[in-house]
Every structure is written in C-alpha cells, then in structure tokens.
Amino acid sequence: MKSVAVIGASLAGLYAARALRAQGFDGRLVIVGDERHRPYDRPPLSKDFLTGASGQEQLALADAEEIAELDAEWLLGTRATGLDTAAGAVLLDGGRSLSADGVVLATGAAPRRLPGEVPTGTHTLRTLDDAQALRADLAGGARRVVVIGAGFIGAEVASSCAALGHEVTVVEAAPLPLVPQLGEEMARICATLHADHKVTLLTGTGVSRLHGAGADGRVTAVELSDGRLLGADVVVVGIGVRPHTAWLEGSGLPLDDGVVCDAGGVTPLPHVVAVGDVARAAGSRAEHWTSATEQAAVAVRNLLAGSTVATHRSLPYFWSDQYGVRIQFAGRRAPGDTPRLVEGSPDDRSFLACYERDGRTTAVLALNRPRPFMRLRRELARATRPATA
C-alpha cells in the first residue's frame, strides 16, 4: 500500500494516522478535514473549556513535534464530497480529487438540529467553533439558558452554565433522561444532580418552536409542546447526533446509521475502513472517546493486512463530568439488568453499582468512585474477553 487517505481530522482520524505510522506504513499519508483546526479534543468543550477553566491550547490532540513526525499532508478546511471506489479516488470540494490505495473513514457525527429556521442565540455543541460561539453568547452577564435535551452533553452544558452563574432550565422529551444508557433506577439518581445545583429539569415535554424578536431575530422564548413558554436568552440544543455519512451516498458502501463494517472496522471493500463515531461496527455504533481511539489501531492493522486479521471487542467505556460529579460507566447493559449498589451511597453522590443478569455482572457505574470502578472495569473486561483473544 503506497498511499492512504484519512477522511476526518479529529480523534479517530488522528489515532488512525498515528497507528499507520506506528505499524510501519511509510507511504503517502493525506489527512482531510473540513474544520480548519488541527485535531483537538471534544469532551472538554462542554466541560472545562465552556467554563473557561481550560483554554484552546489544552484541547490540542497533538503537538507540533508529533505533527511533524507523522509526516502527513494535511488538507484542512477541505470537505470530502464523495468516494469513487472504482477509480480509487476521494472527491473533494472545489472539484479536486485525491487518489489513494487505502481510505480510512473517520468523519464522526454531527448534532441533530431542530427542524426549520432557528433564531440567533440558538446553539449546538460539537466543534470548537460551536463552543467559542456559545462561550461568547454566555459572556455578557447572567442569562436565562434553556438546554433542550438532557443527555450527557445537555447535562454537561447545563452544569457548566450553572457554574458560570446562569439561570438554567433543561427540557427533556422523555419522562426521565438517560434511561437507555443507565436504566431507570440509576438514571433517576443522575437526574437529581440538576436539582442539587438549582437547575430546573422539565421532563416529558417536547419543544414545539423557538420564538425570536428584534432586528437580529434573537431568541426570546422556548415554546413547549404543552404550550408553556420559557423565557430564554440562549438556547442549546443537545438532542443527539447523526453519523456523517451523507457524502458517501452513491459510493456503493452500505450505510445504515453509520458506515456498515465488520468488527475489525473493514467495509465490504477491504481497502476502505471506518473508525470512530461514523462506524457501525458489527451492528453497533459507539459515540465515545475511548472506542474511537481503540478502533483506529485495529482498523489500520486490517487495512494494511488487506483483510480482517484483528477485531475490536474491548469493553465499552465512557465518562461524563457534571456538577462536580464524575460519572463512569463500562460494560454492556441490556434492558432488565438489575443494578446492585456495591459501595457508597446515592445520597452522597458517590457510589459504585453493578448491573447484573442471571448472577453475572454486565456493566458497572460509578459516581465519584474512580478507584473501585477501575478495578471492576478491569475484572469485567477480563471476564468478557473472547477466549480466542
């Protein structure tokens, strides 16, 4: 393999590029990214970066020295618009194209948006530019902030806005947020964190539209589906993400809520692999930092080998920081698995719980208990690793 194009210059793309070099690929490496920034880390965007506790320098995923060592051609501010598999070429905006023997798809995901036009002062949070715009909007003194969606990102944004002294309301369509991730009992405990910090959580109601006024059409209120009006100066929409696959339509690659690939990240074309949030690997798609980094090394190995010689099956893991509480979760929880409190107490917002099914542990959850969490996470990883690995 003489040339590889990595499409998407963020976490998974950078880790793929690193893995290519680490695994001995010394050919031409081109990294295409539609953002103008070099790879940076997204998790702090809703946490320390939003509160101002950390700055842009701390977001960088690679320093100048490492960028130089990678010896890659960077096409930043450049969008891939198509994949011509017959010609072995990636089409780029502006009518250019790029030929490559191998392609790594790492285009991640984009936030879902509210339908229709939205007034100014309405934000989504995925990119550094998004975070800077939101920060600027929050800088002018105390505001009424409405966060739509109480998932992890919505909750983190609410927590950061509350820490900055804003008056925050979170609106969630489901009767209780985070149930699909944590199950009802643990989700209920996590939902109490909002009230601890005087953030109002309104559940079981959707948003019918946003109101704007004035010459700049700035948001003034959020209208709920039950007719209630919430006054708002800033609105953040955190209602999930959609994998960035639109540009691959017509390429012949199977797309189904992500790029369909096997457990090794390999698509039906052995010279095209998918990694990170955009990859639907062996039937499931993760939206977590750790899987994006882990998948890259495996997919690149398969790409260089020309077939699936390795698969990625580590234990899913994610963390979230809200209201000074560090939430960590690892494992594969299925609906109906019963959580059992192992130590600590929900009242102290510090505990460890194991999810169990038929006497087996399927997942672990911790609030502010990193040490025992880590022990259990390792045990669980060992217990669930396939015997062949």
The 241-280 site mask, x for binding another protein (CB under 8 A), equals: ----------------------------------------
Distance of CA 224 to the CA centre of its chain: 27
Choosing among ligand FAD, another protein, none, which partner's interface includes residue 126 (Cβ < 5 to 8 Å by kind)? ligand FAD
Our finding on whether 45 is near ligand FAD (CB under 6 A) is yes
Torsion sign over Cα 361, 362, 367, 372:
positive
Closer to ligand FAD by CB, 212 or 302: give it: 302
Residue 106 binds which of another protein, ligand FAD, none (CB < 5-8 A, kind-dependent): ligand FAD
Site for ligand FAD in 270-329 (CB under 6 A): 276-278, 287-290, 292, 318-320
Structural tokens at position 38: 């070099």
- CB of 37 closer than 8 Å to CB of 67: no
Q: Which residue of 293, 308, 320, 362 would you call a contact of another protein, by CB under 8 A?
A: 293
Residue from the set 18, 38, 42, 280 that interacts with ligand FAD by CB under 6 A: 42
**Options 86, 227, 347, 371; binder of another protein; rule CB under 8 A:** 371
Query: Based on the number of CB atoms within 10 Å of its own CB, is 216 exposed (0-12), middle (13-18) or buried (19 or more)?
Result: exposed
One-letter amino acid for residue 269 of the chain = L
Give the bridge partners for 148, in sequence order: 171, 237
Contact 245, 258 (CB under 8 A): yes
Part in contact with ligand FAD (CB under 6 A); list of ranges 11-19, 228-236, 357-365, 366-374: 11-19
Is the separation of the CB atoms in 310 and 302 below 8 Å?
A: yes
Q: Which amino acid is at 176?
A: L
Smallest distance from another protein to CB 181, Å: 18
The one among 2, 36, 360, 378 contacting another protein by CB under 8 A:
378
Q: How far is CA 66 from the centre of its chain?
A: 24
Asked whether the CA dihedral 150, 152, 158, 162 is positive or negative, the reply is: positive
Residues that bind ligand FAD (CB under 6 A): 7-13, 32-35, 42-43, 45-46, 79-80, 106-109, 125-126, 153, 244, 247, 276-278, 287-290, 292, 318-320
